[in-house]
Amino acid sequence: MLRHEFQPGRLVAGTFLTLAGIVYVGDAGDAWETPWFVVIPMVIGGLCLAAAVGLTARGIRRHRGSTTPPRARPTPPDPAPNSNREAPH
């Protein structure tokens, strides 16, 4: 199984969007009362925080060098279409 590189910005964004969903579901299910203006700043703040974390992680990766190994072999190009084929009748 191929591993992907860790992206903390996406983790933070997913956490805040999940939290916003939980707040919305709890309000819709009458578990608690949430004012209408709470979810918007939560999502915007989470996305801004995720952007800051992502840019910081990118800066650290660029400073240290890439942590992902290069591909073992380059992908071969697509074969050229065979011009000797007969046209369908």
Has residue 84 been placed in a domain?
A: no
Residue range 58-89, pLDDT digits in tens: 999 998 886 555 555 566 666 666 656 665 66
Averaged pLDDT, 17-37: 94
Q: Is residue 83 part of a domain?
A: no
75: left (phi over 0), alpha (psi -120 to 50) or beta: beta
Between the alpha carbon of residue 63 and those of residues 58, 60, 67, 87, the distances in Å are 8, 5, 11, 56
Q: What is the pLDDT of residue 2?
A: 81
Per the structure, the count of domains in the chain is: 1
Q: In which domain, by residue range, is 31 found?
A: 8-64
- The whole-number pLDDT of residue 69 equals 54
Determine the Cα–Cα distance for residues 9 and 17; give it in Å rounded to an integer. Answer: 12
Is 71 part of a structural domain of the chain? no
Assess contact for 85 and 40: CB atoms under 8 A: no
**69 within some domain:** no
Residue 89 lies in a domain: no
